Each structure stands twice: as structure tokens, then as C-alpha cells.
């Protein structure tokens, strides 16, 4: 055992001791620590500065009550969270997630990952994440508005355009961002730089809606090109049917691939002719329906209950875009059996450690979430810049910058992997490249 290995193992043990009931956070930290030993072997000064102890503990973790009144007049109470993880390279930046599964462990894992994801974009933003166990599904617009207003009443005390700039995430789209921004404006005065993912009429950026999905495909295309392959003509399986999945499907098909699936929490559709994106948008974004509703209006689509990763299909590329830990070792084996030679993650940590090991053992090209789905936060940072300049860029300009960011991000991950002797390991490369920038900033700013 080297000094670096001993140090990393000691930090891992401390995290387990401190947070025994936070499995998602421990998983994220564990996946990260497995890959960065070479950095500490080359930079023993990071051990002396105890950087990992500082990086695995949030700078601030907030939990608060969110009382709101439902349409029947009954008072409801949810939990709200904001974890401000690391601000070494800029103001905290990360989305708000409204979903019943939200707890402190999930928000901490997301904030930890966000720190390195944001670093990889090359833009000056730190890492944070927030949200609530509130479930928007089945709620009226008025109930969602009242919840968002109550949530922002407390959150507004801890955020600001130069301190912490939240965005949307699962369960928080344009409607929710509008209500949140409206309340912040009433409380603090007009400041359109406080949230990103805003509507175009009040400071939003063109291409922000498409950014995570489009960025995923720009990353995937760069990864395939590095390995002598291309997207054109490939068959792709996508999980999810939210914002990320919809625009990943759209961009994949623009680039010549055929996406044959989309899914929700109940089931999935298989459409051998390729998912009809306008019809999917109609069902999910306008009608707020389910995938079985898509199958009802598309004759070539078949609906099945369960997970798309349990389906007996043949395809070339897997793009998990639903939620964390949707793929375990068994499902990863199924992906490999299906003939997939590449997996790129649109969701946050959709593959558990056993799944990642299975990909790597089988020689499957693996694009980790913190790199492959960084397009959304990249364009959020571009939106912050537009707000500061009091102007707006064209769709083509933002999309072009997004493509450049994703291709540069991939190239930097490759270069980091090569420098530290783990060539071809894009997970290690992304972790090392993201960590190195944060570490240098922390060292420069003093202990």
C-alpha cells in the first residue's frame, strides 16, 4: 500500500462512519475515490492539505420545512434541501429536484457529482444541489405554485447571483422555475441571474431546454469518433421520457441513429421505426401523459410494463436517461448481451458499481454521467453570462458553444487518463480532470 492509497482508504472509512445511512452519497464518493489514487501519488501536497476530507464534506447543508396548502384547504408539509458542496471555482451551481425519493443522501450525492461535472465544463461554477420530497405529479398548477412560493420563501435566504444559482432538475421544469423566480423577485427585487432554465421572456437562454440531451449526444459522438466509430446507422435504446431523454432522442436521430425506445416509471415503448419525437413531446410535455398513451397513438409502437433494461432487444448503444441506479450488474449483463458497444449516461449515476465494472470488463465504451450529461449545466452557466451582459445569444451560437464544450470536455478527460496512466478509462479520466481543477483552486486559496 502506498501513502496515497492509505490516505484515500482512510477518507473512505471516515465517510462511511459519518454517513452510515446515506447509501447514494457513499456510492458516489466510493466510485470517485477508486479512480484518483494516481493524482495523490503525483501530488503528495494534496495529502498534507487533506483535500479529500474537505471535498467529501459539503461546505453547507441546509434542510428546512416547506408548508403549503392543497386545493382542499389542508395544510401539507414537505422537506426542502440545499447542499452547497464546493465553491472553489465559482458560485454554487446545481439543480433543484422535486420527487418523493429526495432525501439528504441523494442531494449530497448529486452535489458531490455536480462539483466535478461543473469543473469539467471549464466554466467558473462550483457545485451544489437541492430540492424537496414534494411530488408534482397529480398536483394542480395552483398547488405547485403555492408549494414553489413557500419553498423559495426559505431558499431565498441562502442563494444569490454571485453565491448560489439553482436550476431545474427532475420534477422542476419551466413552470416550476417560473413560480420560483416570481417569488424570489417579490422577496428580493428583480434579479434574473438568480435561477437558470428560465423562460425566454425573462432572461432564459435559447437551447437550455435541449442542452442536456444534445450535450449527451455530442459527448457520445466524440467518444465513438475516438474509437473509430460513428452514430449514423446505429440502433439506440434510451430510458426515460423527460427533458433529457426527449432531446437525446431528437439529436440522436438528427445524427443518423435510430432510437427504438422511451420509458417512464411504469413501462416502456419499443418502436422499431424510431421514436416519433413530436408525438412524444405532445404526450409528455403537453398532455403530461404516460408512455402507454404514446403507444395508443403510434401504430408501430408496442407498450410493455417494467424496465426497458429488462427487455429482450438488440441494439448498439445504451443511453440511460431516467434516474440513479436504474442499471445494476444483471441489467448491465443484459445490455452487453444485446450487443451494445457503448453506454453514455444522461441521468445522474444511473449505473451502480457492479454495472460499471461489467461495462469495463466487457470492453464497452463507458461515458460517465458527470461528463456525458454536463451539457445542461454548461448552458446554464452560459445563461448566467447572458444575464450578466443583459443580452441573449442565438440558438445556433449557444448550440455551437455547447458542442465545443462537450468535445473539449471529452478531450480533456482523454488527456487526463493518458497523463495518469489509465488510457481509455473515461470514468477515471473525467474524475481526474474534474478533480484536478478543483484541487488546484483550493490549494491556491489556502488551507
DSSP 3-state of 213? helix
Contact (CB, 8 A) for 214 and 247: yes
Q: Name beta bridge partners: 248.
A: none
Q: Give the CA distances from residue 167 to residues 18, 114, 177, 180, 429, in Å, rounded to whole numbers and listed in that order.
A: 29, 12, 8, 10, 27
Active-site residues, by number, are 129
DSSP 3-state of 110? helix
Beta carbons within 8 Å of 197's beta carbon, 6+ residues apart: 95, 167, 168, 172, 173, 174, 177, 204, 208, 209, 380, 383
At residue 411's C-alpha, the angle toward residues 407 and 416, to 5°, is: 150
Cα dihedral sign, 392-397-399-401: negative
Cα dihedral sign, 56-357-120-93: negative
Residues 180 and 177: their CA atoms lie apart, in Å, by 5
Residues 379 and 401: their CA atoms lie apart, in Å, by 8
Amino acid at each position: 500500500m502506498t501513502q496515497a492509497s492509505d490516505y484515500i482508504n482512510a477518507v473512505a472509512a471516515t465517510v462511511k462512519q459519518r454517513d452510515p445511512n446515506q447509501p447514494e452519497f457513499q456510492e458516489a464518493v466510493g466510485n470517485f475515490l477508486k479512480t484518483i489514487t494516481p493524482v495523490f501519488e503525483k501530488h503528495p501536497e494534496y495529502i498534507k492539505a487533506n483535500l479529500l476530507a474537505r471535498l467529501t464534506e459539503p461546505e453547507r447543508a441546509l434542510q428546512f420545512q416547506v408548508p403549503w396548502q392543497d386545493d382542499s384547504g389542508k395544510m401539507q408539509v414537505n422537506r426542502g434541501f440545499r447542499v452547497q458542496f464546493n465553491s472553489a471555482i465559482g458560485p454554487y451551481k446545481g439543480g433543484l429536484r422535486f420527487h418523493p425519493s429526495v432525501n439528504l443522501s441523494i442531494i449530497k450525492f448529486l452535489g458531490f457529482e455536480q462539483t466535478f461535472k461543473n469543473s469539467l465544463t471549464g466554466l467558473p461554477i462550483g457545485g451544489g444541489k437541492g430540492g424537496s420530497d414534494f411530488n408534482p405529479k397529480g398536483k394542480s398548477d395552483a398547488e405547485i405554485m403555492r408549494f414553489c412560493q413557500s419553498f423559495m420563501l426559505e431558499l431565498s435566504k441562502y442563494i444569490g447571483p454571485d453565491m448560489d444559482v439553482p436550476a431545474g432538475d427532475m420534477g422542476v421544469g419551466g413552470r416550476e422555475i417560473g413560480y420560483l423566480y416570481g417569488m424570489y423577485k417579490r422577496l428580493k427585487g428583480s434579479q434574473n441571474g438568480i435561477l437558470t432554465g428560465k423562460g425566454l421572456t425573462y432572461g432564459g437562454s435559447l437551447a437550455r431546454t435541449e442542452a442536456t440531451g444534445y450535450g449527451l449526444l455530442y459527448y457520445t459522438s466524440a467518444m465513438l469518433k475516438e474509437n473509430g466509430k460513428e452514430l449514423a446507422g446505429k440502433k439506440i435504446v434510451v430510458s426515460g421520457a423527460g427533458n433529457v431523454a426527449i432531446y437525446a432522442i431528437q439529436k440522436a436521430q438528427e445524427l443518423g441513429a435510430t432510437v427504438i425506445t422511451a420509458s417512464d416509471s411504469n413501462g416502456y415503448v419499443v418502436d422499431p421505426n424510431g421514436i416519433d419525437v413530436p408525438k412524444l413531446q405532445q404526450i409528455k410535455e403537453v398532455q403530461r401523459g404516460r408512455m402507454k398513451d404514446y403507444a395508443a397513438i403510434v401504430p408501430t409502437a408496442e407498450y410493455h410494463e417494467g424496465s426497458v433494461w429488462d427487455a429482450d432487444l438488440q441494439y448498439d448503444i445504451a443511453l440511460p436517461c431516467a434516474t440513479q441506479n436504474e442499471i445494476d450488474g444483471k441489467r448491465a449483463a443484459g445490455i452487453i448481451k444485446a450487443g451494445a458497444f457503448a453506454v453514455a449516461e444522461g441521468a445522474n449515476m444511473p449505473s451502480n458499481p457492479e454495472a460499471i465494472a461489467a461495462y469495463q470488463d466487457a470492453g464497452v465504451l463507458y461515458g460517465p454521467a458527470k461528463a456525458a450529461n454536463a451539457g445542461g449545466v454548461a448552458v446554464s452557466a452560459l445563461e448566467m453570462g447572458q444575464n450578466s451582459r443583459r443580452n441573449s445569444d442565438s440558438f445556433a451560437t449557444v448550440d455551437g458553444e455547447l458542442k465545443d464544450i462537450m468535445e473539449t470536455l471529452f478531450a480533456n478527460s482523454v488527456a487526463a487518463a493518458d497523463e495518469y496512466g489509465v488510457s481509455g478509462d473515461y470514468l477515471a479520466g473525467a474524475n481526474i480532470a474534474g478533480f484536478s481543477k478543483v484541487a488546484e483552486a483550493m490549494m491556491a486559496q489556502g488551507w
